[in-house]
Structure 1
Amino acid sequence: MKYRKGGAAAAAAGGSGGGESNDDGSSKAGRDAPPSIQLEIIEYNGGGREPPEKRLTLFALRLAVLEKAASGLGKLDFVWATVVLLGGFASALTITDFWCVTVILVSEGARVFSRSHELEWQHHSTLTSTAGGALRSSSRFFRRLVHALVDPAAAVVSDGGDATRDRAAQFQRQVVAFMRQRAWHAPDVSLLPYTGWVFVSKKIGRLLSWHQLLSASACVALSVARLWRHDFGSGETSNMRPALLLFYTLALAEALLFLLEKAYWTWKISVEKLLDQVGRECELGAYGHVSLTRFFYDAYSRCVTGSIFDGIKMDLVTFAEDLIVSEFLDEQLIGVRILQRFAHAAEGSTLRKLGTSPRSIERLVEMLNWKRPDEEEVRLCSAEVVSKLAGKRQNALRVSGIPGAIESVMSLLYTGWSAPASHDTTASPSSAAARGYDHPQFNLLGLLILKRLARDHDNCGKIGNTRGLLAKIIEFTHAKPELLLNPLTPASQVRAVKRALKLVKMLVSTTGGTGKILRRDVAENVFTVSSLRGVLQHGQQHRALQKLAMDILTGMAMDDDAKQVIVSTGGVVKLLLSMFFNADEKELGGEAGEALAMLALESEASCAAILKRGDVLDHLVSALEDDGEARRLNAARLMRNLCAYAGETHRPRLSKVAKAMPVVLKATMTGSDKILEVSVGLTTQICKFIDGDRFAAGLRAAGTDERGYVERLASILRENRYPVIRVPRMRRFVVHQVIWLMTSSSSAAGDGNNGGVGVDYVALLREAGMERLLESIADTTSELECYHVFSGSVGIGKHRESFSAAVDAALELLAGDGARAEA
């Protein structure tokens, strides 16, 4: 028995098994050791280094330490001044100290207050567009917007050239798309009317930053000046001098700490270019600086507003997950780009983190439906991340479990390649935009996601049940001759055909009732077999495509209706026979033979189509002596099925298979596993065309005699005391051959023909212990031995005669009661 790649079983008679390798690789055996942080770091970066963004969170932590220390000193200084100095010594202070204290308090109070809000403004200042000059051209767009709303035609004509109705309609759609954004973009909000860019929110952070620098500088200057002169505190109150000394010292220390923080900030960001360094290590590309600036401000804000350790708990993956659920396209693009990069560079940890976040998965799947031109990059990045998620089986189940997920993936597939001619003035702008859209890349990603989802049995059913999806997938399997024959064909087009073929192969190889329905649905599509025929006929330069096409035909042939479709499609059987009999096609020949054997199984029409080729039996007999095991195996399987199911019409022609008897008997005596199984089965079928004399001659030609052959059959049953899933028909074939031996022996004795077959096979079988073996088999028969083909654990093509009935017939003949049984 052979299990098809993807899960379904092929013909029970043989074929080499093996499944497709998983994209996510095989799991490694674990050790009895507790997990450690070091192991996570190694998996994250692959080379033992820490994630680059940890340098930013550490920088944010150190800045927060300085900031909180300065803020603490400032608060202490403020309380000391208000309670002690102004509260206790207000009337005794000199005019100079009074105004110095007042200026320092007002400046520091304003600085502390503005510092608490600066991070918010600075955070908003990073919400700049990542689309290049979109913000820089906003004023021009607003002017055009006003003109468009008043006079659309004039607005378009003002661009110069001959304006067309097409361009006017296109601009109106841009206006509508802009107006759909119902929320303000925070960096561009003007806080006061008629102030222009001066009070735009993204400028406020810079104003606050400069205000704090000036305040700190003023505090340093005033404090140093008063401490330098130290002419304060003389008079009636002896405690005023130390009180002022402490105040100026605290103010100086607080201002210096703040300036140290700003200097450290400037050194790391502007001189050492920390953001650029981390961006290069993370390989975030052009958007790295904006992304990491946002990340740094978030981490720093957490350290300042909460515990200083809150920021170091952040990582870029969690940060990106928060951004993709934003309502603004630039933030979504930043987030999805980070996820795309990390899904490639640190696949294990990133996908594990994403897989445990239903909100993020739902958002990524939702992005697959976005089709506006300005959302193309977001959609592409999200498709790449989803394809990586689908590569992990557990995550694939989470993706497919989202309502509408398969439909979202289906939206990536575009098959409308026919476009209007360039001179056609009726061509719509949407079709022009479609031509500019990167459809091949989306098609490849969509097919990849579906292929990875199809590893799960339930997902195959969902794919088949999604309206219109199966037809789209099959449409991608169609490859024109010029595409297959042209060596300069873009690799993306060939890759799309290959992925579609792999996906169809997985669908037709699905096990159980789901696989039965999918094979029927695939066969009912009128383009399926024609597309496969085109690949077989013109795909000489793409052997992998031809192999996939034959695998699909083999899977489809498990369905009776599909066999009829394949046989009735002209040229398919002829192409398979040519590949099978071509001595140079070793690998493809085995696949072609497997497909032919499956087609011939229990199908008289298929056998008739195969036998239309006059030399087919001669080639099969020759193939039985081939060096390749796969070629011999498939030739034996095909010949057996032709003998068993071709019908009486072709019986005279099939008699020539008798010349293969010595080769088959020799394989029975020396072979094992699948070769042995199919050799015994083929022997039983060939024996229908010969008598006992020719069988004995075949034994002599194979280098054995009757006794040796009987002992070989007995040894086979001893080695298979129980059904073996790899060769489930082994015992059935042996029992049928034992029945033929005993019936031929009885016939020869009744006819008085003692020529070379005067051997009493019943006696030989008894001497070999066959009766005891058959009784043991009668107690261990299984439903497994009643089917030709298996789709997982579901049998397909049940034998007409139950195995237990065949065993009982053999025991009756062996008992010598004169009973007759049909083999």
Structure 2
Amino acid sequence: MAGGEHRLQIAAKSDGQGRAAAPEKWVNCFVRVVALMERTGNALGTLAFTWATVVLLGGYPSVLRSQDDFWYATAIFFLEAARMFSGSNNRHDYQLFFRTRGAFRPLGWNGLIAIVCILDVWVLLVLQKKIVMAAVVVYAMIILLALGQNISPEFQPLCNPFRRAISLWSPLAAILLLTPTMQHHSRELVWNTTGGRLTPKITAEINFIPSRFTVAKWTAFFILLVVVLMVTISRLQFPIVTKLADSALCRKLLVWGQTIQNMCMLAALVMLVLTTDGSFRFVTILSLLGITLMVSSGNFQIPAAVVRAEIASFALHRLIMPHNGYIEHGENPDSKTNLVPSLIIFYGMVMAQGILYIVACILDIFSFIPRRSLIRRAGLRGQLGVEYVNLYAYAFEKCMGGAVFVPKKISLTNFAINSLNSDSPKNHFYGIQLMHSLLENEMTRVRILDKFITSTKTIDRIISMLGWTSPNNTTVRLYAAKRLTSIGGEIGITLRYKILKHPFLLRNLAEILGDNNNNQELRKHVAGILRNLAIDGDTRQKIGHMQVLITRLMKAFLNSDRTSSTNVDCLLTKVAGQALAMLATDNVHNCLVMLKEPDFINKLKRMIQIHDEKYIYVAATLLCCMCQHAQAKLTESDLKELSQTLREVLERIMNAEGAELEILIGLSSQICKVIPEEFSQELDNEQIKQRFIKRLVDVLNANMNPGAHCPGIRRVILEQSIYMMECNSHYTSYFNEFRMIEALWMVEEMPSGVENYRIFLGDAVFMEYSTPLFALVDRAKELMGRQCLQGVLKRITDTMVATKLKAIIDLSSQISNVKS
């Protein structure tokens, strides 16, 4: 008989039902659309480059007008050559200068200073009627700014002094560059329309008596100049400045120094716009917007696309006019055959290329919409979730570097697996946490489990992570442990089978358990791994032979600080106890190893008696296993501890419900088997035998259809009843009194398949009982029937004896009468 065998249920998450649509679908579509637009733009650029080389510069070099079309075609030719050369020879340079992703970036306050300086220079040159120079200088300054921001890390140490100097003096330079504009406050730019063309006319007026508006502007200018100058001086490292800055007042002002400087730059922009009049103010505002757009560019993609679109649109507008300059009298018309259509085709391709690039860059700004949708649908949380999605989008974009229309087998699942299998520690960190997040989400759980369970390299990588001892790898080890302990069902079975083949698994787990400096949550997950691995009988034996694992689990379970209020510490104790209970199940060797712990039974008794709900039921399960598999090694003191534990167990049985009741009845049945006399004595002394037996029968009747939370409760009640009737046949009459035989008939008529297994992990069952439930029912009926038969025989015997005695007495009376 498998008396006292006890089921331990381990909670596990279901593997989900079916397969939902991939949450990364919209991000993939978005990236494909942007990549397709960029690829189409690249194709048009390459075609325009070829067209300019072969058709225009090769076929019509002498008839292209030198003042515009020749130079336009040449400029576009070199621009496309730069793009094509960087794309074919250096992928990093191409992504740095011409990629769509990252074409826009946040300006920041340094960008605001750059905008003020560039706009100052532009207004100054325009007011001096140097329009072309203004455009060239503005583009040159923007290019230098972009180069400075994208400088290679190897050259950054050399450029740091220049950067510090520019950061220090650029705010003051931005204010000083306002001076020429302020001097033109009395000038008015008047635009006259003559012959359909716009010509500027500047009229100078000398104001000997300045107006209030002029005084106000100069006053504001000098205030800005003084404030920025003071902020700049405060940043100098001169001794006198340092000494002054140490004062309490200056320290307070220095805290606000950057904010004051930023406000001054905003005021400078406002002044720059207000100092202009009429239509020139509108032109200045448009220029401000354009400069802001280009300064916020993360690379040259937007400026180059704008140049393409502007040149092409201007040239096309002129070419479609009747008087385009190519059809004139006196010239050989054959030399210009198809020239205008060729130019229209060329500029049309260039303009379409620029528009596609601009639209792709603008779309990239709104990529946060599908990314946030992915974060929400995949169940990713916090800043790390944002980083995961950004890395995934970047990886998918890199995959688009090949063919856009060929289906790419890339998904969040593959991305997590590939990150784990890479050689980068940072990718390992992202990969293990992303896998953890995806496994927590029902939508992605099944998909990633299918990939994970078939990747031996990934399993090996996660197991090896447990052996990383660097403090920087604590989080990685924690998530690796979570992944190996929280997967249930048939996939969990396969996973446990695979990880057991790893030669360093148990060693790594033992090292983590033995290091008290490790994260307590990490140790808890390691105990959970051992608990789940111990489901298999051969694995329990293998773990038992590595006795250091049992020893360290015992230490975590028995020697923990029970006064700790942290949830992690409590869970470590509980999970370590569950792991020990699993290792003790049906394994005599492991029970004997645990019994070597000094005062082990006494410690378990105290855990039961202290009324701590967190540990009492784990302790009861362990004590049950000791009684069942190590009875021969229990000493007299151990048996005494069991006897003292019994009273507490019986009292709790009267009030407990569900799985707790099942555990307690299982323990009491084993105590009854080990020390039957003490068990009977305890029931008799407390005068609770009738109440206890009635409780057993009532619980049995109430659980004719066992639930998932306590499927083995009928088995432990039958075992308890059998052991009681075997140790004392008088208990049978009490069972009969409470109609136990009818309950047995009901159990026999309503069997349940779940009652034949000890372990339930998700939807999978493990560790079938050696004794089926119907055998226990037959044994209980046999004991009750035997007692009934003995009662009947006793009554018959008593009747026969009484009859014989009466006959003898009657005969004796008759003999006495005869004699008398």
Q: Give the structure-1-normalised TM-score.
A: 0.51
1:450-529 equivalences under 5 Å are: 450-455=435-440, 456-457=445-446, 459-480=448-469, 483=470, 489-490=471-472, 493-506=473-486, 509-512=487-490, 514-529=491-506
The DSSP-based 3-state class of the residue aligned with 2:766 is strand
Are residue 611 (structure 1) and residue 626 (structure 2) matched?
no
Are residue 670 (structure 1) and residue 659 (structure 2) matched?
no
The DSSP-based 3-state class of the residue aligned with 2:728 is helix
TM superposition shift of 1:527: 1.4
Are residue 573 (structure 1) and residue 544 (structure 2) matched?
no
TM superposition shift of 1:689: 1.4
1:522-541 equivalences under 5 Å are: 522-540=499-517
Q: Following the alignment from structure 1 to structure 2, what is the Cα–Cα distance between the partners of residues 798 and 782? A: 13
Q: Following the alignment from structure 1 to structure 2, what is the Cα–Cα distance between the partners of residues 663 and 401? A: 65
CA displacement, residues 650-705 of structure 1 (integer Å, 9 cap, x when unaligned)? 688864534422222122122222221111001111112123x421222256x442
Which ranges in structure 1 are unaligned for 5 or more consecutive residues? 1-10, 23-43, 45-109, 129-134, 143-173, 188-201, 207-216, 226-259, 280-285, 306-327, 353-360, 379-399, 417-438, 484-488, 747-759
TM superposition shift of 1:449: 2.4
Per the alignment, residue 427 of structure 1 pairs with none
Are residue 633 (structure 1) and residue 617 (structure 2) matched?
yes
| 8 Å Cα contact 1:644-1:685 kept in structure 2 | yes
Percent of paired sites with the same residue:
19
Task: Name the aligned partner's letter for residue 674 of structure 1.
Answer: A
| 8 Å Cα contact 2:9-2:759 kept in structure 1 | no
Q: Residues 537 and 268 of structure 1: is their aligned pair in 2 closer, same or farther, counting only changes over 3 Å?
A: farther
Match of 1:343 among 341, 354, 371: 371
Q: Residues 401 and 775 of structure 1: is their aligned pair in 2 closer, same or farther, counting only changes over 3 Å?
A: farther
TM superposition shift of 1:787: 0.5
CA displacement, residues 156-200 of structure 1 (integer Å, 9 cap, x when unaligned)? xxxxxxxxxxxxxxxxxx997669999x9799xxxxxxxxxxxxx
Q: Following the alignment from structure 1 to structure 2, what is the Cα–Cα distance between the partners of residues 220 and 787? A: 97
| 8 Å Cα contact 1:684-1:733 kept in structure 2 | yes
Task: Name the aligned partner's letter for residue 542 of structure 1.
Answer: N
| 8 Å Cα contact 2:302-2:361 kept in structure 1 | no
CA displacement, residues 258-287 of structure 1 (integer Å, 9 cap, x when unaligned)? xx999979736724987599x8xxxxxx84
The DSSP-based 3-state class of the residue aligned with 1:468 is helix
Per the alignment, residue 817 of structure 2 pairs with none
Are residue 788 (structure 1) and residue 806 (structure 2) matched?
no
Q: Following the alignment from structure 1 to structure 2, what is the Cα–Cα distance between the partners of residues 334 and 773? A: 76
Are residue 412 (structure 1) and residue 385 (structure 2) matched?
no
| 8 Å Cα contact 2:99-2:301 kept in structure 1 | no
1:596-607 equivalences under 5 Å are: 596-607=580-591
| 8 Å Cα contact 1:550-1:592 kept in structure 2 | yes
Are residue 695 (structure 1) and residue 679 (structure 2) matched?
yes
TM superposition shift of 1:594: 0.8
Q: Following the alignment from structure 2 to structure 1, what is the Cα–Cα distance between the partners of residues 418 and 378? A: 25
The DSSP-based 3-state class of the residue aligned with 2:420 is coil
Task: Name the aligned partner's letter for residue 732 of structure 1.
Answer: R
Q: Residues 511 and 405 of structure 1: is their aligned pair in 2 closer, same or farther, counting only changes over 3 Å?
A: same
Per the alignment, residue 592 of structure 1 pairs with 576
CA displacement, residues 476-520 of structure 1 (integer Å, 9 cap, x when unaligned)? 11143xx4xxxxx44xx21111111111113xx3212x3222112
| 8 Å Cα contact 2:392-2:415 kept in structure 1 | no
| 8 Å Cα contact 1:519-1:562 kept in structure 2 | no
For the aligned residues, what is the CA RMSD? 5.7
| 8 Å Cα contact 1:365-1:408 kept in structure 2 | no
Q: Residues 772 and 689 of structure 1: is their aligned pair in 2 closer, same or farther, counting only changes over 3 Å?
A: same
1:39-58 equivalences under 5 Å are: none
| 8 Å Cα contact 2:669-2:719 kept in structure 1 | yes
Which ranges in structure 2 are unaligned for 5 or more consecutive residues? 1-5, 17-25, 27-66, 101-134, 140-189, 199-277, 317-355, 381-388, 402-406, 563-569, 791-820
Q: Which structure is higher in RCO with an 8 Å CA cutoff and minimum separation 6?
A: 2
The DSSP-based 3-state class of the residue aligned with 1:795 is strand
Q: Following the alignment from structure 1 to structure 2, what is the Cα–Cα distance between the partners of residues 338 and 596? A: 54
Q: Residues 219 and 696 of structure 1: is their aligned pair in 2 closer, same or farther, counting only changes over 3 Å?
A: same
Q: Give the structure-2-normalised TM-score.
A: 0.51
| 8 Å Cα contact 2:8-2:760 kept in structure 1 | no
Larger radius of gyration: 2
Per the alignment, residue 348 of structure 2 pairs with none
Task: Name the aligned partner's letter for residue 479 of structure 2.
Answer: R
Task: Name the aligned partner's letter for residue 582 of structure 1.
Answer: N
TM superposition shift of 1:784: 0.7
CA displacement, residues 570-618 of structure 1 (integer Å, 9 cap, x when unaligned)? 4211111112112514432212111100111112222122122232112
TM superposition shift of 1:459: 3.2
1:3-42 equivalences under 5 Å are: 12-13=7-8
Q: Residues 650 and 443 of structure 1: is their aligned pair in 2 closer, same or farther, counting only changes over 3 Å?
A: same
Per the alignment, residue 740 of structure 2 pairs with 770
Q: Following the alignment from structure 1 to structure 2, what is the Cα–Cα distance between the partners of residues 781 and 802? A: 10
Per the alignment, residue 665 of structure 2 pairs with 680
1:186-201 equivalences under 5 Å are: none
1:20-169 equivalences under 5 Å are: none
| 8 Å Cα contact 2:510-2:548 kept in structure 1 | yes
| 8 Å Cα contact 2:438-2:448 kept in structure 1 | yes
The DSSP-based 3-state class of the residue aligned with 2:456 is coil
The DSSP-based 3-state class of the residue aligned with 1:412 is helix
